[in-house]
Amino acid sequence: MKTFVSLLSLLFLLTSCGGGSEEGGSVPPQTEGIPEPALIGYSVVNAYPHDTAAFTQGLELYDGKLYESTGLVGRSSVRRGDLKTGSHDILKKIDAPYFAEGLTIFRDTAYQLTWQNKEVFVYDARTLKPIQSLPWSGDGWGITHDSVQLYISDGTDKIYVVRPGDLKLLRVISVYDQSGPVNNLNELEFVDGHLYANRWQYDVIVRIDPATGRVTGRLDLTGLLSRNSRESLAYLTTPGSSAEQHGAVLNGIAWDAERRRLLVTGKLWPHIFELKIEP
């Protein structure tokens, strides 16, 4: 997700993120005896066009439109468009020094993280007109929501549950599997009561129980792009290119609850893939 990972002080977050304090959290138990996460099966249903200049940080389906947040300083944006054609009817550039990150839409309000700029941009979801910016004391990586709260990742094994509107910190989820803490948590999505998270630099999406933090499933997407694209992918390994410098890794999850489909993509990828996942 980044060219390097910064360490975040949990104490600093608990005392200053959104002006809130922790009201509870999940503490990983001893990992002995914890079963390995189940392998989640999937099939590729469709491949849709994706802007190969888009350094994808957040992906969201909302009201029939595809929303995307893209990163890198000087190239960040928030955009709305059509999944099938890949065209955009709204594209707002975000100037330096901001490095945009994850995106989610909660009750007609879009929240867009920034990486280390300590700001969260808030928009009217239907127009992407800016409403305000909110302070966030740590790194911003991925963001999603359930019916009540927002969930924010910072590249560690922690997911921060916060209140919409002011980002007051409510609790911290510590994510783990049978081997211990699971770090590099990145783009997030809520799917049928579970958190799905990309792991930066891994071709894997993990399924997390939000009540306990335990990883209950793994979606192994190794080779997804190379196996399912007829486009030339040589540009992804060209020396000196954005892909070669920053990493054209798997990143971007959007869940369509009505049609029961999962959309996934990667930074600078030429496609968004529609997956059917096993229950």
Token pair in block for residue 237: 């390994």
Whether 263 contacts 83, CB under 8 Å: yes
CATH number for 10-277: choose from 2.40.128.630, 3.40.50.1220, 3.30.70.890, 2.60.40.10.
2.40.128.630
What lies within 8 Å, CB to CB, of 32 at 6+ separation is none
pLDDT digits (tens), the chain, 279 positions: 454 344 334 433 443 344 333 344 555 556 678 899 999 999 999 999 999 999 999 999 999 999 999 999 999 999 999 999 999 999 999 999 999 999 999 999 999 999 999 999 999 999 999 999 999 989 999 999 999 999 999 999 999 999 999 999 999 999 999 999 999 999 999 999 999 999 998 999 999 999 999 999 999 999 999 999 988 888 888 888 777 778 889 999 999 999 999 999 999 999 999 999 987
The separation between CA 109 and the C-alpha centre of its own chain, rounded to angstroms, equals 17
The angle formed by the CA atoms of residues 193, 14 and 119, to the nearest 5 degrees, is 80
Whether 110 contacts 120, CB under 8 Å: no
Q: Which residue has the tokens 């910072």?
A: 154
Whether 174 contacts 162, CB under 8 Å: no
Domain coordinates in residue numbering, the chain = 10-277
